[in-house]
Amino acid sequence: MSVSARKNLREKDARVILTDFKSRFKFDEEIFDPKPKVESIQLRDGELILVDGKSAILKKNGHLLPALKFDTVIRKLSRVVVDMGAVSHICNGADVMAKGITRVDGEFKKGDLVVVVDEKYGKDLAIGEALEPSVSIREMGKGKAISNLHYVGDDAWSVMKTLG
């Protein structure tokens, strides 16, 4: 994929994005420097927001998501663990099916963001939106459980790899 150039965001625009992001994830502590340098890279299906040169936020369909490399936020999300047979499908953009889920760590509601990890290595594979609450997903035997929003292998991930 061709990467569009980094574009510096105006301080006002950056503040709006960072404030919205922090309120969405209910951070009490400061996760960004007081005067961060905020840049954006246009993607085919959204925008990657860099904060002080690091991949932090993915803006997709009007929603702000943590980038898979933004560990500070990822570690606060509930986790859905999938079997190794599901990994290649998820890394190709497939939604997470209940049948492939081996464990749910944490409590969440329908619509909350979760991180999807593999059962063998615990690697972060995707950020998804819960289609059901955690209580229901633990009991589901079939059907879609998590909508895949950002995953290893998507455009944003490819750009993040080039940034280091």
Q: How many other CB atoms are found less than 10 A from the CB of residue 17?
A: 19
Are 27 and 83 within one domain?
Answer: no
Distance spanning both ends of the chain, measured CA to CA: 16
What per-residue confidence (pLDDT) applies to 133?
98
Pair (61, 122) in one structural domain: no
pLDDT at 2: 47
pLDDT reported for residue 141: 87
pLDDT at 10: 94
| Residue 164 maps to a domain | no
Tokens representing 90?
């998820």
Report the pLDDT value the prediction gives residue 4, as an integer from 0 to 100.
65
pLDDT in tens, the chain (164 residues): 445 689 999 999 999 999 999 888 877 667 888 889 999 999 988 999 999 999 999 999 888 999 999 998 999 999 999 999 999 999 999 999 999 999 999 999 999 999 999 999 999 999 999 999 999 999 998 999 999 999 999 999 999 998 86
Predicted pLDDT at 26: 76
How far apart CA 64 and CA 80 sit, in angstroms, is 20
CATH code for the domain in which residue 53 is found: 3.10.450.120
- For residues 115 and 134, the answer to whether their CB atoms sit within 8 Å is no
What residue numbers bound the domain in which 15 lies? 7-70
State the Cα–Cα distance between residues 92 and 115, nearest whole angstrom. Answer: 16
Please give the sequence-ordered ranges of beta strands (E in DSSP) within the chain, or none if there are none: 7-8, 38-43, 46-51, 54-60, 63-66, 78-82, 96-97, 101-105, 113-118, 124-130, 144-151
Q: Of the residues 15, 38, 70, which one is the last residue of a structural domain?
A: 70
| Residue 87 and residue 49 share a domain | no
Cβ atoms of 130 and 112 closer than 8 Å: yes
Residues in the chain: 164
What per-residue confidence (pLDDT) applies to 3?
A: 55
pLDDT, position 32: 87
Examine the domain organization and report whether 87 and 118 are in the same domain. Answer: yes
Kindly state whether residue 105 falls inside one of the protein's structural domains.
yes
- 162 within a domain of the structure (yes/no): no
105 and 49 within one domain: no
Instruction: Supply the pLDDT for residue 28.
Output: 65
